[in-house]
Amino acid sequence: MEVVIAGSPDEVAQLAAGIVARVVSTTEQPVIGLATGSSPLGAYRSLIDQHRSTGLSFAGASAVTLDEYVGLPYGHPESYRSVIRTEFIDHVDLPVERLHSPDVHATDLAAACDAYDRTVVELGVDVQLLGIGADGHIGFNEPGSSLSSRTRIKTLTDRTRSDNARFFDSIGDVPRHVVTQGLGTITAAAHLVMIATGSGKATPIAAMVEGPVGASCPASVLQFHRHVTVLLDDDAAGELRHGDYYRETYRHKPPWQHL
Ligand code: GLP
């Protein structure tokens, strides 16, 4: 796990965008995994800027989403497919038919979850962006999620529903059920990039990076993955025991080694 502590949220966004841009421009038919929430928004803005100013092209790329609410009407602005389109896809040249997301409107939801899991695995995600929830969830894998779980329906915790209530008129409007890629599905991606900024992320980040691996902190499963980059600002790094070591390591990173 490579932990990079950057000076500002903007620098974090630039680093994350740089990783995705590199994959997109050096891989034939790249597959990028997109996350929702506020954490990756700066990276999306930077990628859109690069698309406009340098011609960075997503024309040959495919994208997969991590998770989706169950119960929102098709096209609801807060559905994660809509959010990913509004914040990123609709501003670049990635063909929308190559944006994959779980079919939460299927009559047989369990079969739709299995089908989505197969799609993600068959595509093979080159780089997956991630944010972290206050309770250590990634995607919508709440505490207690099996570390080898696949795409399935999950029930949100009260904490996650209240954290996400800011996107809805009231907490009562936040769906209770979601479909999420499982921890086993997410960790099949070749490169995982965690983005976290602000002091609210300090506790879950410390648990993820330095705590014991276990279902109580689902993100801790990343400790088993062979290529994880954790991009933090100073506030999100605030509770790391080995913060000085991570800073030292990044300062002396060999110039030929990219993130
Ligand atoms: C939601 C999403 C997660 C995201 C988390 C944190 O629960 N399902 O993918 O990481 O929110 O969101 P934010 O980045 O807004 O803090």
Q: Which residues line ligand 1 (CB under 6 A)?
A: 35-39, 66-67, 131-133, 139-140, 160, 164
Q: How far is the CA of 178 from the centre of ligand 1 (A)?
A: 13
- Domain holding 133, by residue range, is 2-232
pLDDT at position 198 = 98
Tokens found for residue 97: 């038919």
CA of 193 to the centre of ligand 1 (A): 14
Q: DSSP assignment of 127-179, as one string?
A: EEEE---TTS-BTTB-TT--TT--SEEEE--HHHHHHHGGGSSSGGGS-SEEE
pLDDT at 166: 94
CA Rg value for the chain: 17
- Phi then psi for residue 180, to 5 deg, are -135, 145
Of the candidates 68, 117, 126, 135, the residue annotated as catalytic is 135
**Ligand 1 atom 3: the closest Cα is on which residue?**
139
- Which residue of 65, 132, 141 sits with most ligand 1 atoms within 8 Å of its CB, as the best mutation to test the pocket? 132
The CATH number of residue 125's host domain is 3.40.50.1360
Kindly report, residue by residue over 162-212, the tens digit of the pLDDT.
999 999 999 999 999 999 999 999 999 999 999 999 999 999 999 999 999
* Predicted local confidence at residue 12, as pLDDT: 98
Asked, for residue 250, whether it belongs to a domain, the answer is: no
CA atoms 65, 67, 168, 220: torsion sign: negative
In a domain, 121, yes or no: yes
Atom of ligand 1 nearest to the CA of 180: 8
- Total number of domains in the chain: 1
Asked if residue 237 is part of any domain, the answer here is no
Mean pLDDT, consecutive 10-residue stretches, the chain (259 aa), reads 96 98 97 97 98 98 98 95 98 98 98 98 98 97 98 97 95 97 98 98 98 98 98 98 97 92
Look up residue 151 and give its amino acid.
T
Tell me the C-alpha distance between 205 and 39, whole Å.
13
Query: Is residue 96 assigned to a domain?
Result: yes
234 labelled catalytic: no
Q: Is the pTM of this model over 0.95?
A: yes
Inside any domain, residue 258: no
- Determine, yes or no, domain membership for 243: no
Instruction: Tell me, yes or no, whether 118 lies in a domain.
Output: yes
| Domain annotation covers residue 214 | yes
CA distance 145 to 251: 36
What pLDDT was estimated at residue 68?
98
